[in-house]
Amino acid sequence: MPAARNKVGFTMKNTPRTREQLLSARLRQLADAGLMRQRRRLDSPLTPHAIMEGQKMLAFASNDYLGLAAHPDIIAAMAQGARDWGAGSGASHLISGHLKAHETLERRLAEFTGFDRCLVFSAGYLANLAVTPTLAAGRDDAIFADRLNHASLIDAARLSRARQHRYPHGDMAALERLLAQSAAKTKVIVSDAVFSMDGDLAPLSDLFRLAERFDAWLVIDDAHGFGVLGPEGRGSLAHCGIRPHPRILLMATLGKAAGTSGAFVAGSALAIEYLLQNARSYIFTTAQPPAIAAAATKSLEIIQNDEARRAHLRALIRQLQTGCAALPWRLLPSETAIQPLMLGENDKALALSQQLWRRGLWVAAIRPPTVPPGTARLRISLSAAHGENDVAELINALRELA
Ligand SMILES: Cc1ncc(COP(=O)(O)O)c(C=O)c1O
């Protein structure tokens, strides 16, 4: 009998017979390949100095880039939001779950990003599922995606019947060729702005130029740039000097630099109305709890006014880059809070993460399928809530372990 190949691509010589045997065999293979994942339990709020599984740890593992997740004013806004509007929204936006707290947040986000209109979602995953397959739904349409796009963008493309094209990471010549060859009725170019596991910035100006030339939509996921990059933290498009345009749809999450939860999509009034009427992951899900919308509205105010947080974060990034220069492992070139230290093999990344853990430092090892095989890494994630001493402690530990 030929060897069976399971979903994650492992060959199984002795094909298991029962459902339980099948799951156990797949889990064993994940473990053998160094790909088992483990959740770490936090026993305190998420701050760099956190209690994790009963131990005091210094954490470099969150996306709370501006240190807002435990900000007292945002916590107070969330508590007040719950008192004003209740704990849950009770329904989807189009039934009866669209509260004034959501509407206020949408209006402020539109003002902040400069787009006509915004839609708020309860997760970035859902926001991404809403955009690409709604714009490019049919077999006559085509989606052009960077190979390193976030899983939610990849899954979004899978929901569409459109032709899929994935171009090598950041390769604008390849994208241009694909666009030139395409006779699709609707073309959608989709890319992370800041790549979540590499920390590098997409060539946004080139993407926009190609979108203009080939009359395509440009869908940008700015989960990791919003709040961090650009004047007043307006995000990656503003950072690159790209003004809002009717062919751009901008998605960003509120669970990273904004320190809360959920996401939004910003665009022209027409495009947003089209999503509201058609996007299944907007229509068929309960609206974000209104207290979170109230908290995110407060967070937006802090993002806009507290430039010192971004300046401090930039100083920490430079400190880490300088401190890691002599290590045997290389940091990927990244000017953002995401600083990946490349180890290559899964076991090496896991072992270094575990050695740091034993010294009270929490840095996540990132392995396939989150990143391509052979590119396992430590994803060092910096936050404005870190101090210089914290970064120095991490650098010293890495030097000793090297
Ligand atoms: C680039 C990117 N897009 C989308 C998401 C999904 O956002 P959310 O966590 O709000 O579902 C994430 C991470 O979670 C991300 O890194």
Closest residue by Cα to atom 5, ligand 1, is 124
204-213 vs 172-181: helix crossing angle, rounded to 10? 10
Looking at residue 61, its pLDDT comes to 94
Closest residue by Cα to atom 10, ligand 1, is 124
Cα 401 to ligand 1 centre (Å): 32
Cα 170 to ligand 1 centre (Å): 20
Closest residue by Cα to atom 8, ligand 1, is 124
Q: What is the DSSP string of 315-377?
A: HHHHHHHHHHTTSSSEE----SSEEEEEEESHHHHHHHHHHHHHTTEE-EEE-TTSS-TT-EE
Q: Identify which of 7, 76, 74, 68 has the alpha carbon closest to the alpha carbon of residue 35.
A: 7
Active-site residue, selected from the candidate residues 62, 122, 191, 196:
196
124 ligand 1 Cβ < 6 A? yes
| pLDDT tens by residue, 311-363 | 999 999 999 999 999 999 999 999 899 999 999 999 999 999 999 999 999 99
Cα 207 to ligand 1 centre (Å): 21
Residue from 62, 224, 253 to probe ligand 1 pocket by mutation (most atoms less than 8 Å from CB): 253
Spatial separation of the C-alpha atoms in residues 361 and 49, rounded to whole Å: 10
Spatial separation of the C-alpha atoms in residues 276 and 273, rounded to whole Å: 5
Looking at residue 369, its pLDDT comes to 85
* Alpha-carbon torsion angle 16, 20, 26, 27, nearest 10: -140
Looking at residue 306, its pLDDT comes to 97
Q: Identify which of 354, 384, 19, 372 has the alpha carbon closest to the alpha carbon of residue 197.
A: 372
Neighbour count for residue 173 (Cβ, 10 Å): 10
Residue 253 CA: nearest ligand 1 atom is 10
Cα 78 to ligand 1 centre (Å): 21
Cα 223 to ligand 1 centre (Å): 6
196 is catalytic: yes
Looking at residue 2, its pLDDT comes to 40
122 ligand 1 Cβ < 6 A? no
Q: Which residue has the tokens 């034993």?
A: 358
123 ligand 1 Cβ < 6 A? yes
Active-site residue, selected from the candidate residues 187, 224, 312, 386:
224
222 ligand 1 Cβ < 6 A? no
Domains of the chain listed by start with CATH number: 36-66+307-401 (3.90.1150.10), 72-304 (3.40.640.10)
| pLDDT tens by residue, 157-214 | 999 999 999 999 999 999 999 999 999 999 999 999 999 999 999 999 999 999 999 9
Residue 16 DSSP class: -
Residue 263 CA: nearest ligand 1 atom is 10
63 ligand 1 Cβ < 6 A? no
**Per-residue tens of pLDDT for the chain, all 402 residues:** 344 444 445 555 567 789 999 999 999 999 998 788 888 899 999 899 999 999 999 999 999 999 999 999 999 999 999 999 999 999 999 999 999 999 999 999 999 999 999 999 999 999 999 999 999 999 999 999 999 999 999 999 999 999 999 999 999 999 999 999 999 999 999 999 999 999 999 999 999 999 999 999 999 999 999 999 999 999 999 999 999 999 999 999 999 999 999 999 999 999 999 999 999 999 999 999 999 999 999 999 999 999 999 999 999 999 999 999 999 999 999 989 999 999 999 999 999 999 999 999 999 999 988 899 999 999 999 999 999 999 999 999 999 999
Residue 255 CA: nearest ligand 1 atom is 10
Looking at residue 11, its pLDDT comes to 54
196 ligand 1 Cβ < 6 A? yes
Looking at residue 12, its pLDDT comes to 55
Amino acid at 150: H
Cα 152 to ligand 1 centre (Å): 7
Amino acid at 317: I
Contact (CB, 8 A) for 155 and 307: no
Residue from 196, 197, 288 to probe ligand 1 pocket by mutation (most atoms less than 8 Å from CB): 196
Residues 6+ apart with CB under 8 A from 362: 40, 50, 52, 57, 58, 59, 60, 61, 356
Active-site residue, selected from the candidate residues 239, 256, 298, 312:
256
Which helix (H) or strand (E) segment holds residue 154: the answer is: helix 151-158
Residue from 63, 120, 131, 152 to probe ligand 1 pocket by mutation (most atoms less than 8 Å from CB): 152
Residue from 64, 150, 221 to probe ligand 1 pocket by mutation (most atoms less than 8 Å from CB): 150
